[in-house]
Amino acid sequence: MAYRHLFGPVPSRRLGISLGVDLVPQKTCTHNCVYCECGRTTNLTCERREYVPTDRVIAELDDFLAKGPDLDYITFAGSGEPTLHAGIGEIIAFIKDRYPSYRVAVLTGSALLADPEVRSALMRADLVVPSLDAVSEGVFLRINRPYPGLTAEGVLAGLLDFAREFPGEVRLEVFIVPSVNDADEEIGLLKDAIASIKPHRVQVNTLDRPGTDIRVRPAAPGRLERIAAVLGGEVIGVGCTDRALPPVCDDAVGAILALIRRRPCTPADLAALLGIRSAEVAKHLRVLESRGLIESVREERGVFYRPV
């Protein structure tokens, strides 16, 4: 079966060997964050509906998981906000009922957690990683550039309700954008919010791949460590698991393009993610670039490739 809505498995900095489940077309989201590695949001919305066929996603998962792959998590993420899909609860329930040994993670920008239906849909996940980048309204608008009507106050209220109700693990992610949300006052507000949310872990992140706004730069490592200490959290590292990945499909070019479409990658990233030689990756990148499908951009960690 050709997988249209699954990607990977990939070695994740946070989740080990992770099979991605992508429930929305790129780029469909409640936010248009300045740092997003998936690119600019083209469909800024809060409308929940069946963006891709639920039964097709379930069929792909059934086909893939029936082979018994060695995974740490099945992760709902990818081209936008996964909780926008009205069938996410049904898909999570299928995994937990049919393949209960697999752990389910959901990465979310938190905007829809104020909706009781969304919170209910996520209750059978094992891990939810919500984002909270700002507490003050002005900073929230500058960083997250949300759908009209969404507010920092509303996002925080939804997070608080979700954290109280959710029986699984909550790992709160805070993304630091230098000169925007790293001032002592905003960090103090985030610290107070975290004390109320009481997540199991707090993970502090900064730019690693090219973001939506080219003016956004990564925070200095020392500053990031100090912020993490204040927030009672940890800095997300760059290291990935060194466990062997399951074999990828024979179509290496298609696999490379599928990964790049979801987030910019360096050649080294692609070689590690796909388990193929660097020379082969370079050859395929040259072909894709000559066809005008991808372009390169240099960042501090090296040359990244992203869709045109």
Span 82-100, mean pLDDT?
A: 98
244 band by pLDDT with thresholds 50, 70 and 90: very low
Of 47-56, 127-136, 258-267, the range with the lowest mean pLDDT is 258-267
Per-residue pLDDT band at 142 (split at 50, 70, 90): very high
35's tokens: 């740092």
Q: State the pLDDT at residue 214.
A: 67
Q: In this predicted structure, what is the pLDDT of residue 219? A: 86
CATH number for 249-308 (one of 2.140.10.10, 3.40.50.1360, 1.10.10.10, 3.40.630.30): it is 1.10.10.10
Percent helix / strand / coil, the chain, rounded to 5: 35, 20, 45
- Residue pair 129/93 in contact (Cβ under 8 Å)? The answer is no
12 band by pLDDT with thresholds 50, 70 and 90? confident
CA–CA gap between residue 172 and residue 149 (Å, rounded): 23
Cα separation of the two ends of the chain:
28
- Residue 209 has a pLDDT of 65
pLDDT at 210: 61
Taking alpha carbons only, the member of 23, 13, 22, 43 closest to residue 209 is: 13
SS3 state of residue 149: coil
Q: Can you give the residue ranges of every domain in the chain?
A: 6-235, 249-308
Q: How far is CA 42 from CA 35, 52, 178, 180, 306, in A?
A: 15, 17, 25, 24, 16
Helix/strand number for the chain, H first, E second:
10, 12
Residue for token pair 């005008």 = 292
Query: How many other β-carbons are positioned within 10 Å of the β-carbon of residue 295?
Result: 14
Which token pair is 105?
Answer: 């993670």
Confidence of residue 149 (pLDDT cuts 50, 70, 90): very high
244: exposed, middle or buried (C-beta count within 10 Å: 0-12, 13-18, 19+)?
Answer: exposed
- Do the first three CATH levels of 6-235 and 249-308 match, i.e. the same topology? no
The predicted pLDDT at position 213 comes to: 65
Residue 292: pLDDT over 90: no
Task: Say how far apart CA 141 and CA 119 lie, in whole Å.
Answer: 24
User: What is the SS3 string spanning 43-56?
Assistant: EECCCCECCCCHHH
Task: Give the tens place of pLDDT for each residue, 18-47.
Answer: 899 999 998 899 999 998 877 789 999 999
Architecture of the 6-235 domain: Alpha-Beta Barrel (3.20)
Q: Between residues 284 and 94, which one has the greater pLDDT? A: 94
Residue 2 confidence class, pLDDT cut points 50, 70, 90: confident
Does the structure show a pLDDT above 50 at 238?
Answer: no
Instruction: Give me the phi and psi of 292, to 5 degrees please.
Output: 75, 20
Task: Supply the pTM of this predicted model.
Answer: 0.80
Q: How far apart are CA 175 and CA 231, in angstroms?
A: 12
Does 275 score more than 80 pLDDT?
A: no
